[in-house]
Amino acid sequence: QVQLVESGGGLVQAGGSLRLSCAASGSIFSTNTVAWFRQAPGKEREFVAATSRSGRRTYYADSVKGRVTISRDNAKNTVYLQMNSLKPDDTAVYYCAAACFFSEDVGQYNYWGQGTQVTVSS
């Protein structure tokens, strides 16, 4: 069983930065791919970024590529999402999720956090 808790969201002006954290409990965290998704009001949940079990491979949605960096520290059971050059379109609830294998499909992820709100003002 893996439990995920996100933190680090908040209100930031366009062009600013935020670092989100996803802390996990459960010894199997290091064996899972971990991803960030986001969901804006009235929209479907969408893939943002993911990191492989070792952290050596990372994946990004085209909409955030070059502005976002995902990293993980398996010793701390934590995954981070550094977001720079934020835009109002980045406003959403951000969720971390864990799965056995990488996918951009929300249905493939077994474990989810409760989400953290990111609001970018123009």
Q: What is the distance, to the nearest Å, from the Cα of residue 44 to the centroid of all Cα atoms in its chain?
A: 15
Q: If pLDDT is split at 50, 70 and 90, which confidence band does 31 have?
A: confident
Distance between terminal CA atoms of the chain? 40
pLDDT band per the 50, 70, 90 thresholds, residue 94: very high
DSSP 8-state secondary structure symbol assigned to residue 35 = E
Cβ–Cβ < 8 Å for 102, 50: yes
Q: What pLDDT is attached to residue 1?
A: 74
36 and 95 Cβ atoms separated by less than 8 Å: yes
Q: Which of 50, 47, 22 is nearest to 115 (CA)?
A: 22
On the CB side of 64, how many CA atoms lie within 13 Å of its CA? Answer: 25
Q: What percent of the chain has pLDDT over 90?
A: 84
Is the predicted pLDDT of residue 45 greater than 90, yes or no?
A: yes
The average pLDDT across 65-78 equals 94
Give the three-state DSSP class for 31: helix
